Structure 1
Amino acid sequence: MLKRLRILVLLLLAGLALSERAQAAPGDTTRVTIFSQRKLTHYGFYDTTAVMPAAGRRYRKVLMHYILGRYPCPPGTQYCGSWDYTTRVILQPPAHDTLEMARIMTPYATDWLVRNKTHDYVVDVTDYAPLLVGNPGFRFDYQGYSWGFTVTVRLDFIEGTPPQDPVDVRNVYDGTFAFGRTSDPIEAHLPARSLVAPSAGTIALKSLISGHGSDPAGCAEFCRKFYQLLINNQWTSTTSLWRDDCGKNEVYPQTGTWVYDRGNWCPGAVVRRIVQPLNGLTTPGQPFTLDIDMQTYTANNQTSASAQYIWSSQLVTSGAINFRTDASLDEIIAPNSNENYVRENPICGGPQVRLRNLGSNRLTAVAIAYRVQGRGPTQTYNWTGDLAYGRDTLVALPPLSTLMNNTAGGRFQAWTASPNGTRDQNAYNDTLTTRFAPSIQLPGSITVNMTTNNARNGLWNETSWQIVDVAGNVVAQRVNAASSTTFNDNVRLVPGCYSLRLTDLGCDGFSWWASPATVGSMRILNSAGSVLNTINGDFGCEYTLNFQVAGPLASAANQKLLNALDVYPNPSHDGRFTFDLNLPSTQDVQLRVVDALGRRVWARALPQVKATVQQLALDGVAPGVYALEVRLADGTTLNRRLVID
């Protein structure tokens, strides 16, 4: 009997332990896979169902991971994974509107197989949490006419209290509507709707809209149009249906015309949701009318009027704001090895994070602490500003020494503290951690070898470059370059962190297969002429290479020497500086000023000096960035950057 009682007690304790584990704590994540490595083999719908987590839980955030990959098509297949097609993830909850949750455009990915490449697109779908229960249906809509892609769709349910509890989502407009066709005007599909505002909480119109087709005017894929939102017959806003940043796509390069801007979308990118809050425009608990008026347009040739918009506008209602004070660290942009931040990484200078206010009180101050885990101290940056609820800002943090002298990568961590000088009511969105790779190292003497193509912007070539230090000072550059010309710019750099920034005014790089221009090139060479780095010219609008110039850490004596030199005012408006030198002993000193290409523009010898204050007059020297070199008797050189503006 006693033995049975002991067994019963053990079973009860085990059951309690399992029960405690089943009740996940805030921050715990439940993952549900909807599609797994699904090969896209036909145009149209791919339907399935999925079992959702148990009802009754609150989720701080629900994230959709849409992982696109490739598979080899059968021999002889044309255009395998080669085109930019519309794909949509659609939720089909029982007894409810069918709702489009996300829209992603496939990239031109002919080379993905040989590159063994996939891409994980992440979309916040927290609004749909009340409908992600039970065993709902899901539809993947593939509007492609060739095959070769695979798709995995997964939902991550992150437990905790959301900024606002989502209540409901309903369609207002949903469908594919002709544009510019007199027999089927788009306004017939966008009539005024009679709706009712919730008595509490918030309400917003959230839309996924993308333009397609190509009539003689390029509509609607390649024409810039807009719509107006009317509430109770009153104009409230005008929204452009255009993406003007396709040449800055994180998924690049691609094997097609990825750089061309389009009707509110880009190849290989998530279609951005248009969010229009309605609370200040409606009365709680009262009916209102909502109307969208599309820009007037009629195709000149009705026979070829192929323009259309894929349109999904949803009315999203949410509960009251749950926290008064909540500073959220939304994302670490750099340092970060995640593929969605490839253009910004790797870095060696100042980190970049996105800060968002998710409290009802305006956020005016917060401390942001950050570090490389396991290396060096924690730094703190005190941010000040003014963010209303839901608003965010990009914060550039001061440089971190453990990033500037890093050759192995590691884990970077940042967190917020003391928002508005008080306690944060929601600690679960305060901290983020990323993995990162190190930036490359280059020697202090390099040559930027650039051959321009023949693409012109006015008199000059479209492509230019600058090298800037961590303070944002330009230390070398090649701008207003002649076309079809080779330049070898010798650059000397002191130890530190730098960024080589390329820009192309045509947003098609200096070497792109679809450009009518000739092919350019750019390489970084060492002093012996060996190639250290080759820049891929298919970068679209811009490209940044962050790099380190290594050097020994300054000893206490050397640090004292560094502090012995001061030059002011800097920048100087007229080229005149005050030179203040205070050395530990009397000695001969050589002064030299060189430009960004290492050419001497001024020199002077100072015999037997220890402490001196003199005028350094660079009369007639053109505005720009220069380097002052102070060479001491033992060969030590002190450097200061001079700016004439």
Structure 2
Amino acid sequence: MKTILLSLALIFCSIPLLWSKTGDTIRVVSHNQTIVVTDPATGVKAYRQWAVFPSAKVPVRKINLLVTFGCPDSLRCADWDYLDHIYIRRKGGVNSPSVDYPVGRMLTPYGGAFGQDWSFDWKSDITDFSLLLRDSVEIEYEHTGYEPNDDRGWKITITFEIIEGKPVLEPVSILKLYDGSFPYGDSTQHIEENLKPVSFVAAKNAQHARILIFQTGHGMDANGCGEFCSRYRELWFDGKMIDKRNIWKKCGDNPLYPQAGTWLIDRAYWCPGYLQQPDVFDLPVTNGVEHTIDMNMEPYVTANPSANERISAYLIQYKKPAAQHDVAIEDIVVPTGSKTHLRKNPSCVNPVIVIRNMGSKPLTQCVIEYGTTGFNKRRYVWKGNLLFNRQTEIELPGTIPGNAGENIFTVSLTAPNEKKDANSSDNTMHTVYTKAAVHGSALVFHLRTNNQPQQNGYIVRSSDGKTMYERALGTLEAETDYRDTLHLAPGCYELVLKDTADNGLEFWFNTRGGRGFARLLNIKGQLLKHFDSDFGSEIYYSFEVSADTTALALPDALPAVGVFPTRTSGKTTMDYFSNSPQKVTVQLVADPGGQVIEEHIYEQLKEGVFTYDLSYRPAQRYYLKVYVGGKLVFNKRVRVGG
């Protein structure tokens, strides 16, 4: 396939912005590895760039917003979980009026312990803004916060992935319903004053309406509102309640883990390190008829309010759906190399996909063909009842074969409702993935419990769902070593370690819980896999057992290192375990400044536990860094002074 790369320097912009077309996909990059830091004086800093999008004549099937974060080359990653926005500021040129449509809501991660090679990617479907993303558009990344800006920040890339093709719905108009930060809990500024009903008359050629809502809770009053309190929201249309939900999100399964801060604590519809996915509601409308939309928050008043609800909501009117029978593949969750799905990958069993009904008729069945390149394809007939624009996750039967290294997995959909698909351009998807690790038939699972073992239990299952080994919830003792030898026949297996409190075997904020760890060893006691103790909700590890010794994964070349507590007024302890003795250097480094405060050198260290007394140090943050053979293998933030 021929690839064409075009660059255009707009006469009103000093930086040329690029868009490229590969087949039916156009990629518009508005911010290319832009260094983003705060403005501590104001708390807000804007990064604006003009970009060139396709003209209105180009049919658009789908638009994905891709956001990539990394650590700047000259700075370290930033610390705090700030609320950032991606805006369409102007459309048409420098003299055009402001539009000011937030199309992306980014909650930054706690990046204090990320290394310089760290990066992460997020994606969101923003097809509903296709009317605005045409021709010359000014895109702004708005970064908030007050942390220092001379030694930390982010390196961001913003890409708009525009897939050409017949629209599922042809847009007619877009209207902003609500947009702002609204006080919540204040008796003198009731939030309903900002969420008044909005009426609109359906356009003459509109038969379909979509409500799009971005909402997150912020602030911290005596009840934890709005960041740490769950409150319900109602959505009413023409006098009928069409949705009621808690504005709340669990964070213990965050794919970006661990982070330096309170990343796993549940929040008001967001988690640190998260590109928010909007709530979407599809409704029929009658042209020329007046309709009313009303949003209501749970009644709430407090004595000293500080909470606010940040809400951006839109109404998009469309013509009728283009097709009656149309199914699309939205995502491949397993197997994939995507960082968004890293908690369930690599895996050797049960592929997981997401499909969406793009047809006006309910989707009751479709045919799914799937498999790895070089291996036999499988066929599965899915049956259900999926309404227009709804999506569902499907677990497909069977193991996931593969060769050593990278593999390609392909999924194809056909025959929606036993009909010909009206648009086959989005019926096939493939992912690149790494085959699950292969181990011998005898393994040792070494679990060291923390002070709260009642929260933990683990199970080993075969690919057919049979339980092979289990230590159930409520059966474990505190601060105890469990070394379970697993004798497994050749096949595919899953090891799942759960934590019912969603705070793993270690969480710096939970000092009473202490620290535990989990390791998978071979029968010789060599480390095969070290699981990070700060895992939140669960550890999932899929692996294959084989009698072919030439295919077995090698012992882990990196050591297992842990430090706890990381918030202390005195002592902290480091545990170290590796497969071979090496020279190990441990440094305590001041933050900010980077000054090495302590250095400990251990010659030919293989295993050990070491306690460091930091009570003499002033209250501030430090980093405990571990180098093996001169290479940094561990970097953990330690706060002295609580």
Matched, 1:268 2:273: yes
Please report how far the alpha carbon of residue 434 of structure 1 lies from its aligned counterpart in structure 2 after TM superposition.
0.7
Pair 1:87-2:84 in alignment: yes
Q: CA deviation at 1:359?
A: 1.3
Within the candidate set 458, 465, 468, 2:461 is matched to 468
Question: Alpha-carbon deviations, 1:99-119, whole Å to 9, x = none?
Answer: 1101010111112234x1111
The answer to whether residue 525 in structure 2 is matched with residue 529 in structure 1 is yes
Tell me whether 1:496 sits opposite 2:498 in the alignment: no
2:290 counterpart letter in structure 1: P
SS at match of 1:170: strand
1:182, 1:385 → 2: CA distance?
47
Letter in 1 for 2:265: Y
1:165 corresponds to:
170
Partner of 2:482: 487
Q: Tell me if the contact between 1:413 and 1:432 (Cα under 8 Å) persists in the aligned partners.
A: yes
- The equivalent position to 2:296 in structure 1, one of 293, 310, 316, is 293
Q: What's the offset of the Cα at 1:400?
A: 4.0
Partner of 2:343, secondary structure, is: helix
Aligned partners of 1:57, 1:523: CA distance in 2, in Å? 54
Aligned position for 2:13: none
- What secondary structure is seen at the aligned counterpart in 1 of 2:47? strand
Alpha-carbon distance change, 523 to 100 in structure 1, aligned in 2, over 3 angstroms? same
**Aligned partners of 2:21 and 2:27 also within 8 Å:** no
Matches of 1:295 and 1:208, distance apart in 2: 17
Report the AA paired with residue 330 of structure 1.
Answer: E
**Structure 1 partner of 2:510:** 515
Whether 2:418 is the aligned partner of 1:417: answer no
Which residue in the other structure is 2:195 paired with? 190
Query: What are the superposed Cα offsets for residues 590-645 of structure 1, whole Å, 9 maximum, x if unpaired?
Result: xxxxxxxxxxxxxxxxxxxxxxxxxxxxxxxxxxxxxxxxxxxxxxxxxxxxxxxx
Equivalent residue for 1:277? 282
Aligned partner of 2:258 in structure 1 is: 253
Task: Give the paired residue count.
Answer: 513
Partner of 2:247: 241
Larger radius of gyration: 1
Verify the 8 A CA contact 1:226 1:240 in the aligned structure 2: yes
Distance 2:410 2:366 in 1: 16
Q: Paired residue for 1:174?
A: 179
1:27–1:428 CA contact under 8 A, matched in 2: no
2:501 maps to what in 1? 506
Output the CA distance in 2 between the equivalents of 1:349 and 1:524: 19
CA RMSD of aligned residues (A): 2.2
1:110 match: 112
The answer to whether the Cα contact below 8 Å between 1:163 and 1:322 also exists between their aligned partners in 2 is yes
**Paired position in structure 1 for 2:346:** 346
2:131 aligned with 1:127? no
Q: For residues 511-561 of structure 1, what are the alpha-carbon distances to aligned partners after superposition, in whole Å with 9 as ceiling and x for unaligned?
A: 2222121110111122222222221111110120100001369xxxxxxxx
Match of 2:597 in 1: none
Asked if the contact 2:207/2:286 (under 8 Å) is kept, the reply is: no
Identify unmatched segments of 5+ residues in structure 1: 1-17, 19-23, 554-645
Structure having the higher strand fraction is: 2
Residues of 1 paired with 2:493 and 2:451: CA distance? 29
Shift of 1:139: 2.0
Question: Closer, same or farther in 2 for the Cα pair 1:272/1:63, shift >3 Å?
Answer: closer
| % identical aligned pairs | 29
Query: Equivalences for 1:323-472 in 2 at 5 Å?
Result: 323-373=323-373, 375-400=374-399, 402-403=401-402, 406-455=403-452, 461-472=454-465
Equivalent residues in 2 for 1:141-152 (5 A)? 141-146=142-147, 147=149, 148-152=153-157
TM-score using structure 1 length:
0.76
* In 1: Cα distance, 2:455 partner to 2:485 partner: 21
TM superposition shift of 1:27:
5.4
CA contact (8 A) 1:126 1:166 kept: no
Q: 1:201 to 1:476 in 2, by over 3 A?
A: same
The structural deviation recorded for 1:484 is 1.9
Superposed displacement of residue 420, structure 1: 2.4
2:583: which partner in 1?
Answer: none
1:62-104: CA deviation from partner (whole Å, max 9, x where unpaired)? 1111111222677xxxx95111011111112355742110101
The separation in 2 between residues aligned to 1:401 and 1:276, in whole angstroms, is: 36
**After the TM superposition, which parts of structure 1 deviate over 4 Å for at least 4 consecutive aligned residues?**
24-27, 94-97
Q: Who is 1:310 aligned against? A: 310
Distance in 2 (alpha carbons) for counterparts of 1:400 and 1:525: 24
Q: SS where residue 83 of structure 1 aligns?
A: coil
Aligned equivalent of 2:25: 29
- Asked whether the equivalents of residues 97 and 170 of structure 1 are also in contact (C-alpha less than 8 Å), the reply is no
- Once residues 521 and 378 of structure 1 are traced to their aligned partners in structure 2, the CA distance between those partners, rounded to angstroms, is 39
Q: Tell me, in whole angstroms, the C-alpha distance in 1 between the residues paired with 2:319 and 2:541.
A: 45
Amino acid at match of 2:256: V
User: Which amino acid in structure 2 is aligned with residue 507 of structure 1?
Assistant: D
C-alpha distance in 1 between matches for 2:295 and 2:97 = 27
Instruction: Give me the whole-angstrom Cα distance separating, in 1, the residues matched to 2:54 and 2:287.
Output: 33
Q: Which residue identity lines up with residue 519 of structure 1 in the other structure?
A: R
